[in-house]
């Protein structure tokens, strides 16, 4: 394996060092009106907005929050359609799925509980993870539920100085899933030309190795623990309270996302709801 080198790019950021201007884009009124128009008709305003968002995601911090998506007065399904329409202006959205509506549900994965969700990248049952993740806030929680973002490039750079012994293991394959569509391996950090791609889901890695009968070694655990320490370091994490109509776009191969625990409002108030969309 080549000697790991630091990432020197705007994607290598620390949360406390960012200001709102680094990641916030306000939806122009013309784009809001265009979203109310027929989906079949291309809107130049949306194309211009997509170019700005793509620039910020691909050549900026690796993520952006688009504020002002018109969710008021729309059903959750109509909000999902809006989210997919915006995703189509950025790339090729993955087919819509009922699981894209994220609320607390019984017998669902950790993502559909009210528990804290550690920073991770989405792995998904496909040959490769999606390049772009969008999360549209329709309704926030009554309390908690802040979004947590961490630069995978910063984690890599910090490991170079804090735990260089861990990087050779993290540049080699781990199992990232078992079962139909999930039985695959990849490194946590992987070079693609000049790019460093990041894939991390501690819970998924541990489950995959356990179910494959290939338990993680003490050295494996130590390397993953080194990553987790940085993912929980307040000096690296950006905490964002997303509001209704906030649409978070992030590069799923660079930026890890999670959330704090939350409390839904008591019935009959509607629970916290996010719309998820993946795109390439």
Q: Which of 120, 40, 20 is nearest to 85 (CA)?
A: 40
- pLDDT by 10s per residue, the chain, length 280: 667 888 999 999 999 999 999 999 999 888 888 887 766 666 788 888 889 999 999 999 999 999 999 999 899 998 998 888 888 888 888 887 766 778 876 556 777 788 899 999 987 666 678 889 999 999 999 999 999 999 999 999 999 999 999 999 999 999 887 665 556 788 999 998 788 999 999 998 998 898 888 899 999 999 999 999 999 999 999 999 999 999 999 999 999 999 999 998 888 888 999 999 999 8
What is residue 104's three-state secondary structure? coil
In CATH, the architecture of 18-150+239-279 is: 4-Layer Sandwich (3.60)
User: What are the structure tokens assigned to 76, written together?
Assistant: 């959750």
Distance between CA atoms of 233 and 230, rounded to whole angstroms? 5
Rg, the chain, Cα only: 19
Q: What pLDDT is recorded for position 276?
A: 92
Give every CB contact of residue 26 below 8 A, 6+ residues apart in sequence: 67, 68
Q: Which of 2, 4, 1, 3 is nearest to 158 (CA)?
A: 4
pTM above 0.85, yes or no: yes
Q: Indicate the domain borders of the chain.
A: 18-150+239-279, 152-231
Query: What is the CB neighbour count within 10 angstroms for residue 71?
Result: 22
* Cα separations in angstroms, 211 against 121, 175, 178, 214, 270: 21, 10, 7, 8, 37
* Cα separations in angstroms, 4 against 170, 191, 215, 223, 231: 11, 9, 26, 15, 20
């Amino acid at each position: 394996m080549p000697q790991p080198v630091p990432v020197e790019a705007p994607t290598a950021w620390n949360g406390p060092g960012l200001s709102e201007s680094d990641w916030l884009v306000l939806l122009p009124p013309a784009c809001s009106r265009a979203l109310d128009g027929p989906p079949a008709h291309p809107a130049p305003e949306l194309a211009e907005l997509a170019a700005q968002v793509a620039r910020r995601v691909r050549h900026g911090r690796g993520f952006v929050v688009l504020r002002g998506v018109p969710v008021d007065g729309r059903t959750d399904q109509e909000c999902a359609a809006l989210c997919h329409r915006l995703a189509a202006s950025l790339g090729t959205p993955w087919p819509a799925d009922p699981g894209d509506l994220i609320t607390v549900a019984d017998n669902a994965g950790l993502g559909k509980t009210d528990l804290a969700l550690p920073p991770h990248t989405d792995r998904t049952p496909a040959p490769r993870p999606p390049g772009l993740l969008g999360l549209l806030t329709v309704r926030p929680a009554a309390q908690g539920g802040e979004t947590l973002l961490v630069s995978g490039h910063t984690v890599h750079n910090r490991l170079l100085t804090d735990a260089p012994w861990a990087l050779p293991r993290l540049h080699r394959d781990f199992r990232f899933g078992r079962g139909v569509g999930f039985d695959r391996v990849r490194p946590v950090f992987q070079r693609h030309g000049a790019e460093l791609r990041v894939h991390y889901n501690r819970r998924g890695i541990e489950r995959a190795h356990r179910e494959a009968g290939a338990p993680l070694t003490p050295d494996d655990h130590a390397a993953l623990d080194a990553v987790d320490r940085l993912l929980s370091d307040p000096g690296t994490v950006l905490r964002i309270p997303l509001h209704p109509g906030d649409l978070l776009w992030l590069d799923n191969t660079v930026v890890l996302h999670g959330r704090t625990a939350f409390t839904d409002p008591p019935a009959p108030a509607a629970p916290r709801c996010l719309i998820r969309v993946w795109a390439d």
